[in-house]
Structure 1
């Protein structure tokens, strides 16, 4: 076992991205996956009906449309259609109104009343330099930005909306809730500089490259990544758990697409004591409790335009969201937690079959929570969509504490691979010049627990692979990721 040039432990989006880069560089790559199927957070399953596929983890993919890795890999040319809803995300409010983030910025501003112009001023500079902003955030965060104007615009927005000052720039409840709902994707304390950065990053993408859903489900992304790896000589070993690094001692390089906890378990006493202590102190964030519903009709939202949205945030007003998220981050269960809901068939009609369709939902809960989320999440949806329960054919819940069993990277249900704080966003997983390289020769961490952190963007794997290519194989030219391009240009450079 482990006789290839490169062994990769875990086949989530970052492990797959790392394998694409390594295989295209002409190296022999083997991937090891403990689960019986690849994909990690990109897996899908027919949970209740053979014709209806549910996204077991991630469903909506702003980063798959925006990150450098996926821009170069070009999902569209590989047959993956990213379906864009008319409304990227919606935020129904307790009074029956709703705030809507249309893909069209002007349509959004026109419906935000007094906050229309502030919203335009906030988003326009970021949209003008969107690729540079995305590349800044999705970087190792160890060097000065190339586009200073984009960095300044982003930093100003994050400073404003990551602090109490944000209340001054947005004055309506609709505008405040619309942005705070995006900030809540940090799954942590609100407001914070880290959540402000996430709000600006995801918020501007809603009006740019969008918040798309892959046609057919998230597993389509994993399928085309795997196909490229196999086409370049890579091999997969599923149902193969690596619990000891020495199982892979024949490989020159090992990349772990795991949480620090997984690396600690596999490397054990091989790690220097100081680095092991740093990994053991790595903070995991609040958890997500997942519910999958099979329904026989679209969600009957009280405000009909919410039904145009690919993603719906259920949290109430800005004050309510902040209170809920702060309690959750402190380990206290909120009575009405923040919930994200997706009806995939809104953007992708192929997901509805024979009058049945999937509904996907997450609730933010304390790390390790044992609460069964089904009734709680259904009640939250019912509050804004009376009669939803009458459409439910079947449902399944995964407690936050059980999510780690399904995917060991979700420690205590933390789907972000670690708490999203300013310090940990920059220094994850440990304070090192090269955050991917461990003190062990040839061993790297390439998961979302390394920069740039959570999201299906592939950049942690891409950047870790580039580091390993340079340091371990002397390959300084990153291979082309474009479909049909040969990797011969980089072979022999080691």
Structure 2
């Protein structure tokens, strides 16, 4: 194939964000993708029955609306994003539920006078400075923060909720359960500083811009990125698994949307850098089940029937017990289950009157156990009669997920453990962790800052670093949807 200025390996959201940024700067760009369709962990397909459209990986996108890349890209002008009144719900015993509304005051009002005030005290100061929080947490953590007071407020809350003090401000079970459901996204033991940090960010976005779902599925976000790339002269080559950098045609820039383990296999690295990558650790995993349903999930708490996202697992103590069992390398008998029911808002996902349900649970890395029964039983616990609505299901074990996307080492969808150390050194300790010692080669996966999530920021930052070092370009290119064709190559 003909030579290009830049090559991107991997077409997940970060790889495509990198490709779009380089193409907008006027470079000729080619993307190579292992699978037959682009998207990585943000694609949509019929996995169960015809007409039922399931998100293969991520389904709900709180980071997308907060992301500097997607804001510059104008994602809400390109993709219809439905922002629900309920950011996430949490079923509890006895037909009760905790509800995190996008409206902070409304959420507090449902938690009672004591816990409601505690919830306001936890989030209101951060919500006033939510963009400063997003800037700090969406950047490389070695940078000096521009808003130190906001960072201090955030850090104090992480210290509280990431330690044994996490229950001190609450008197009842709904508020701590709501928080713990968000914390458990990090797939770490509970409580811990890393889970508190990641979970507070997610919960805060639930009260800021919300937890949106894209009409038509996550694949529409990928489609918008692909369309922009092609409109600016880029190309995508699918069904091509790049195993060695030497197999690629010449290019001044190569950006790799791959895990550090893959980078170490693709090239001969300087020994010191290779040792650093070898120390990078991967976290525990997920196992996923997609359901085609004859009707809505019969949640015992009626308000949950309108919640696109739910955290299922019971009280804070129950979820902590399940997550800590996984952290010790065992499967939880009563697991935490992250549930998305997008068809309660988006009628394009399933035939009329029917629904799709997306669910995953956490398992030890490398697990080959099918979790269909475990997930079904846990949902049935809070939605009696759920089994009777199931028309079909499709299951993927942790190993299946890695086979689909090699970045998910052992089924680790975060592409590296989300520990405090690995949020700072991700994958190496550097003020420019995207740049490798290989000339013109950059890493742009979720294994680099700011870490996991559909935000495109790892790809965007890597592309900006490459433009700076390889072309001397310091000004980020415009990504606005109204811009015309790209300029000539620098």
TM-score, normalized by the shorter chain, greater than 0.5: yes
Instruction: Supply the distance in 2 between the matched residues of 1:273 and 1:230 (Cα, whole angstroms).
Output: 38
2:413 to 412, 415, 433: 415
1:100 alignment counterpart = 99
1:262-281 per-position Cα deviation (integer Å, ceiling 9, x unaligned) = 111211xx201221122122
Q: Does residue 27 of structure 1 match 2:36?
A: no
| Cα contact 2:48–2:290 (8 A) shared by 1 | no
Q: Where has structure 1 moved over 4 Å in runs of 4 or more?
A: none
Alpha-carbon shift at residue 49 of structure 1 (Å): 2.8
Structure 1 position 2, deviation (Å): 7.1
| Separation (CA, whole Å) in 1 of partners of 2:93 and 2:326 | 21
1:203-242 pair list within 5 angstroms? 203-242=203-242
Aligned counterpart, 2:305: 307
Q: Which residue of 2 is the match for residue 394 of structure 1?
A: 392
| C-alpha displacement of 1:293 | 0.3
In the alignment, the residues of structure 2 paired with residue 288 and residue 307 of structure 1 have an alpha-carbon distance, to the nearest angstrom, of 24
- Report how far residue 20 of structure 1 moved: 0.8
- TM-superposed CA distance for 1:94, in Å, is 2.6
* Contact residue 2 and residue 30 of structure 1 kept, 8 A: no
CA offset digits 1:82-129 (Å, max 9, x no partner) = 112221101111333111101111111001012101101111111111
Which residue of 1 is the match for residue 455 of structure 2?
457
Give 1:249 shift.
4.9
TM-fit CA distance, 1:164: 1.3
Alignment of 1:53-452 (within 5 A): 53-78=53-78, 80-113=79-112, 114-267=114-267, 270-452=268-450
SS in 1 for 2:174: helix
Are residues 2 and 15 of structure 1, via their aligned partners in 2, closer, same or farther at CA, if it must alter by over 3 Å? farther
State the alpha-carbon separation in 1 of the partners of residues 437 and 335 from structure 2.
40
Give the CA deviation at 1:205: 0.9
Deviations 1:448-468 (A, max 9, x none): 000100000000000011111
SS at match of 2:400: helix
Q: What is the CA–CA distance in structure 1 between the aligned matches of 2:13 and 2:30, rounded to whole Å?
A: 15
Contact 1:479-1:487 within 8 A present in 2 as well: no
Q: How far apart are the structure 2 equivalents of 1:159 and 1:354?
A: 47
Indicate conservation of the 8 Å contact 1:2/1:247, yes or no.
no
- What's the offset of the Cα at 1:474? 0.8
* TM-align CA RMSD: 1.3
Deviations along 1:150-207, one digit per CA (max 9) or x if unpaired, are: 2122112111111111211223211111101100011111111111111211111111
Deviation at 1:402, TM superposition (A): 1.7
CA shift digits 1:306-357 (9 cap, x unpaired)? 1121111012111111111112122111111110111111222332313322
Contact 1:287 1:366 in 2 (8 A): yes
- 1:219-277: per-residue Cα shift (whole Å, max 9, x none)? 0000000000001110110001110101225011111101111111211xx20122112
- Tell me how far apart the structure 2 counterparts of residues 97 and 77 of structure 1 sit (CA, whole Å): 38
Displacement after TM superposition at 1:148 (Å):
2.0
Q: Matched residues in 1 for 2:386 and 2:195: separation?
A: 31
How many correspondences in the alignment? Answer: 489
What is the distance in 2 between the residues matched to 1:254 and 1:94? 52
**TM-score normalised over the length of structure 2:** 0.97
Deviation at 1:63, TM superposition (A): 0.8
- Mean Cα deviation higher: 192-201 or 26-35: 192-201
Deviations, residues 396-427 of structure 1 (Å, cap 9, x unaligned): 11011221001111111101111110001110
Q: Give unpaired runs (5+ residues) of structure 1.
A: none
Question: Contact 1:480–1:487 (CA<8 Å) still a contact in 2?
Answer: no
TM-superposed CA distance for 1:434, in Å, is: 1.3
Measure the CA separation in 1 of the matches of 2:136 and 2:210: 18
In the alignment, the residues of structure 1 paired with residue 52 and residue 91 of structure 2 have an alpha-carbon distance, to the nearest angstrom, of 27
Q: Distance in 2 between matches of 1:57 and 1:309?
A: 19
State the shift of 1:393 in Å.
0.2
SS state at 1:169 partner = coil
Measured in 1, the distance between the counterparts of 2:21 and 2:2 equals 18
CA distance in structure 1 between the aligned counterparts of 2:321 and 2:399, rounded to whole angstroms: 22
Q: Name which of structure 1's ranges 420-429 and 347-356 shifts more when overlaid on structure 2.
A: 347-356
Measure how far apart 1:487 and its partner are.
6.8
Q: Within 2, Cα distance between the matches of 1:56 and 1:402? A: 12
Aligned equivalents of 2:386, 2:312: Cα separation in 1: 14
CA distance in 1: counterparts of 2:244 and 2:309, whole angstroms: 40
Q: Describe the shift of the 1:2–1:13 C-alpha distance in structure 2 as closer, same or farther (beyond 3 A).
A: farther
Alpha-carbon distance between aligned partners in 2 of 1:225 and 1:247, rounded to the nearest angstrom: 26
User: 2:17 aligns to what SS in structure 1?
Assistant: helix
Asked if 1 retains the 8 angstrom alpha-carbon contact of 2:90 and 2:99, the reply is: yes
Supply the distance in 2 between the matched residues of 1:186 and 1:435 (Cα, whole angstroms): 21
